[in-house]
């Protein structure tokens, strides 16, 4: 063991050697780089971190130098290398942004500042905070993508040394890397970095599974040595005979890739057939297709396993031809055929792309706001994602959109005018519509795929031509159920946003009618402009906000009346419906003998309790008026409800989503604001209608009714509609305790393998 002084000398020598190696590495691809700048950055970082060590016990400076070396291996500019050397100085030492600007220039200062801000973002946390932090991360890198590239290099070195940190922290960092950083590297086209990040995460998160698959792969590789050499030799000879000089490399799937394939396909290791692949690298694009023809004439191709990413590149710039052939001894062999340029871009992504433009890589010159981002589809994806994040107002939408976009593979479709639209695998015409434009998605009602009328839920295939048919109705809202069908985050968020906006409009319309009725009964006319002066009293920012608050039952209409007309004396009356639990009839106390009944309603009570009447559920109606629930629409506690005064019928209760309310739009004076008054000690069931679309097969109805029974809901009636394309539609009248109970029931029904949709009906 070295004495402390000698250990310090050894460490200094190692640091000096690494500095020298770093400079040599940078100058290997940037011969005119500023050697003095890099040396000054090394000295500055070494001085600032002189009293710090890593969890492994090594001098802290070894980390920035290692990160800078990874950045240099990515062939980034010298500003990125220097930023990597300094990336922890502001966060972990007494260095300041002003000091770095003065010593190394504002460009490097801005990069270090961006990296410092990212270091405080924790992505593995509660969902909403995770979504907001992911938004901050991508917005932070939108001004200069080099911040993201250096951040990825920083994460890679941390993962390489993760064994030295405590197990709890190790698990958090590993999951964060697998969820966010590895997919981000993939989206930037940096496949080599993505593979290593995934592999290291897998090794730390599931060490036993990793070790098992690693050992199986090692054993298989040993057994396949002769076959691999034979295939490599054959490919080189056949291509050479045709005048194509090619580099042929065998490659074995990584343990994490094998694990993911086993999990996704539900197969064992022994059932996997393409664990070893071959990469054929040639000089020119036309040689890729020539090589493909040569291979297919020697070995039969496996149907359905051909993909041409040269003519149709992936969004991360990846280009290559993929094919699978039945090689020697009839085993499946996967081949990738590409040029040297394509191979570099596949390995290093956007970090390598510009080298083939003019030989000098300067990502700082990329204009992220430009309509046509040069060179790289990955830049364009990042810009579109940032645009989406900057417009989003819900952190959950941010998280869902970005994570869906990070993970899913692609299918390529066309508009009738020939515009290429890249979508995730499994996408529908709904996703296509929103990919074309948000307004197209919001107004989509039908589609034609390859000239034929098709359902918007149809999954698209490569090469499909999709024409979106739009609605001319200004009030059209895409069905909420589309959110469960759509695949892309943009489409899901678009459907949710359209539903929220429609609901807001409905709240405002409801609020106007309730206020008109309230003001009329008080002998006044409701004037929205008169609310402007009363807003401070109501603690609302705008007139529309106040009106919508009334519609949402957040603001009592009588409070609005009093705020506008302070001298008016409001006499509040509160009526409460009572239930006779023995027969399920409701009546209003002090009103007389008017009753209404919910057929089949059952109470969760014992025999003693059934002998006692108890108060249930509405307040806000005038005394002397009968109240009933519209059974076609239903209403359950948790719904926002309104009452409609109907001549000869008293007050009919509707949820605000009810279609039937449209019939009463011209009679705003008949609208009454109602509220639930539920006694938690005496719960009751309430009516709702649900529609289920399910596979028409024996046992389907039994499966559905079993789920309803297990969910503690009561079936009142059932309507069946004949099968259409193998699907049946069922409308159930059910009784549930409240809106949460109903939501749980719908989730359970949607989870059934026989159901394609389950939704609540409002009329």
Which stretch of DSSP H or E encloses residue 285? Answer: helix 285-298
Instruction: Give the pLDDT score at 598.
Output: 34
- Cα torsion through 257, 263, 267, 268, rounded to 10: 70
Instruction: Give the pLDDT score at 404.
Output: 47
Phi, psi of 675 (to 5 degrees): -135, 150
User: CA-CA distance, 172 to 182, in Å (whole number)?
Assistant: 14
Provide the 8-state DSSP code for 143.
Answer: S
Give me the DSSP letters along 383-440: HHHHHHHHH---HHHHHHHHHHHHH--EEEEE-TT--EEEEETT-BHHHHHHHH-HHH
Q: Residue 432 contacts by C-beta under 8 Å, 6 or more apart in sequence?
A: 413, 421, 423, 447, 460, 466, 468
Q: Write the CA distances from 680 to 29, 616, 734, 739, integer angstroms.
A: 73, 10, 21, 14
Instruction: Give the pLDDT score at 132.
Output: 55
**Structural domains in the chain?**
4-204 (1.10.3210.10), 224-348 (3.30.460.10), 498-564 (no CATH), 577-676 (no CATH), 686-761 (3.30.70.260)
User: CA-CA distance, 19 to 615, in Å (whole number)?
Assistant: 81
Instruction: Give the pLDDT score at 675.
Output: 80
Which stretch of DSSP H or E encloses residue 490? Answer: helix 489-521
User: CA-CA distance, 714 to 253, in Å (whole number)?
Assistant: 53
- Is the separation of the CB atoms in 732 and 724 below 8 Å? no
Q: Using the Cα atoms of residue 293, residue 297, residue 301 and residue 304 in order, give the sign of their dihedral.
A: positive
User: CA-CA distance, 344 to 245, in Å (whole number)?
Assistant: 18
Instruction: Give the pLDDT score at 544.
Output: 85
User: CA-CA distance, 79 to 107, in Å (whole number)?
Assistant: 8
Instruction: Give the pLDDT score at 396.
Output: 52
Nearest of 79, 128, 131, 74 to residue 108 by alpha carbon: 79
Query: Low-confidence residues of the chain, pLDDT below 50?
Result: 1-10, 124-129, 353-375, 392-393, 395, 404, 407-408, 572-616, 623
Q: What does the mean pLDDT of the chain come to?
A: 77
Nearest of 118, 136, 121, 117 to residue 398 by alpha carbon: 136
Phi, psi of 631 (to 5 degrees): -70, -20
User: CA-CA distance, 691 to 376, in Å (whole number)?
Assistant: 47
Instruction: Give the pLDDT score at 244.
Output: 92
Provide the 8-state DSSP code for 124.
Answer: S
Question: Helices 489-521 and 543-551 meet at what angle, rounded to 10?
Answer: 90
Nearest of 655, 647, 605 to residue 629 by alpha carbon: 655
pLDDT digits (tens, 9 = 90+) for 258-300: 888 887 777 788 777 677 889 999 999 999 999 999 999 988 8
- Is the separation of the CB atoms in 760 and 742 below 8 Å? yes
Find the DSSP H helices in 30-166: 35-48, 62-73, 78-86, 89-92, 97-104, 106-119, 127-142, 146-160
Instruction: Give the pLDDT score at 303.
Output: 84
Instruction: Give the pLDDT score at 408.
Output: 47
């Amino acid at each position: 063991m070295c004495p402390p002084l000698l250990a310090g000398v050894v460490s200094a020598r190692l640091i000096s050697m690494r500095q020298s190696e770093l400079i040599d590495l940078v100058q290997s691809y940037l011969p005119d780089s500023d050697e003095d700048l890099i040396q000054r950055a090394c000295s500055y970082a070494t001085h600032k971190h002189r009293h710090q060590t890593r969890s492994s016990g090594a001098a802290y400076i070894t980390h920035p130098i290692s990160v800078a070396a990874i950045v240099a291996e990515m062939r980034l500019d010298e500003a990125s290398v220097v930023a990597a050397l300094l990336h922890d100085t502001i966060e972990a030492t007494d260095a300041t942004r002003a000091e770095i600007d003065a010593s190394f220039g504002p460009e490097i200062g801005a990069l270090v500042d961006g990296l410092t801000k990212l270091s405080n973002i924790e992505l593995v946390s509660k969902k909403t905070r995770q979504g907001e932090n992911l938004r901050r991360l991508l917005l932070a890198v939108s001004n200069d993508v080099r911040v993201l590239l250096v951040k990825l290099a920083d994460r890679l070195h941390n993962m390489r040394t993760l064994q030295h940190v405590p197990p709890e922290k190790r698990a958090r960092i590993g999951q964060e890397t697998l969820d966010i950083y590895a997919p981000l590297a993939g989206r930037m086209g940096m496949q080599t970095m993505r593979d290593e990040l995934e592999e290291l995460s897998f090794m730390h998160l599931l060490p036993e599974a990793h070790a098992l698959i690693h050992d199986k792969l090692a054993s298989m590789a040993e057994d396949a040595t002769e076959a691999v050499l034979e295939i490599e030799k054959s490919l080189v000879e056949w291509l050479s005979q045709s005048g194509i000089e090619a580099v042929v490399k065998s490659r074995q799937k990584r343990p994490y890739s094998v694990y993911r394939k086993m999990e996704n396909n539900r197969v064992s290791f022994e059932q996997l057939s393409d664990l070893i692949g071959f990469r054929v690298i040639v000089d020119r694009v036309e040689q890729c297709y020539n090589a493909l023809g040569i291979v297919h004439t020697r070995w039969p191709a496996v149907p359905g396993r051909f993909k041409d990413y040269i003519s149709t590149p992936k969004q991360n710039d990846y280009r290559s031809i993929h094919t699978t052939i039945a090689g020697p001894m009839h085993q499946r062999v996967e081949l990738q055929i590409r040029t040297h340029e394509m191979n570099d871009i596949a390995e290093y992504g956007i970090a390598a792309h510009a080298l083939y433009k003019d030989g000098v890589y300067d990502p700082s010159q990329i204009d992220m706001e430009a309509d046509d981002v040069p060179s790289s589809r990955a830049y364009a994806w990042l810009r579109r994602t940032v645009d989406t994040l900057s417009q989003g107002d819900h952190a959950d939408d941010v998280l869902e959109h970005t994570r869906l976009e990070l993970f899913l593979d692609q299918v390529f479709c066309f508009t009738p005018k020939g515009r290429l639209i890249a979508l995730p695998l499994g996408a529908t015409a709904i996703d296509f519509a929103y990919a074309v434009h948000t307004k197209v998605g919001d107004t989509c009602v039908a589609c034609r795929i390859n000239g034929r009328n098709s359902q918007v839920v149809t999954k698209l295939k490569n090469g499909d031509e999709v024409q979106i048919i739009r609605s001319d109705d200004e009030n059209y809202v895409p069905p909420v159920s589309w959110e469960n069908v759509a695949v892309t985050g943009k489409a899901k968020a678009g459907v949710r946003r359209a539903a929220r906006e429609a609901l807001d409009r409905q709240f405002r319309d409801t609020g106007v009618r309730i206020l008109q009725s309230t003001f009329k009964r008080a002998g006044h006319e409701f004037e929205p402009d008169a609310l402007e002066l009363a807003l401070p009293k109501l603690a609302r920012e705008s007139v529309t906000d106040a009106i919508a608050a009334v519609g949402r039952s957040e603001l009592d209409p009588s409070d609005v009346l009093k705020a506008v007309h302070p001298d008016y004396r409001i006499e509040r009356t509160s009526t409460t419906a009572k239930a006779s639990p023995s027969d399920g009839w409701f009546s209003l106390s002090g009103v007389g003998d008017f009753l209404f009944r919910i057929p089949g309603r059952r109470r969760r009570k014992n025999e003693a309790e059934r002998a006692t009447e108890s108060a249930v559920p509405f307040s806000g109606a005038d005394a002397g008026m009968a109240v009933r629930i519209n059974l076609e629409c239903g209403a359950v506690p948790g719904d926002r409800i309104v009452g409609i005064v109907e001549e000869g019928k008293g007050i009919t209760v509707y949820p605000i989503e009810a279609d039937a309310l449209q019939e009463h739009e011209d009679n705003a004076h008949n609208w009454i604001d109602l509220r639930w008054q539920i006694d938690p000690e005496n719960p009751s069931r309430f009516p709702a209608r649900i529609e289920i679309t399910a596979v028409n097969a024996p046992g389907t109805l039994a499966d559905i009714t079993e789920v309803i029974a297990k969910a503690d809901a009561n079936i009142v009636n059932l309507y069946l509609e004949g099968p259409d394309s193998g699907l049946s539609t069922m409308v159930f009248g059910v009784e549930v305790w409240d809106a949460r109970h109903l939501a749980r029931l719908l989730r359970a029904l949607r989870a059934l393998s026989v159901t394609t949709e389950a939704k609540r009906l409002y009329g």
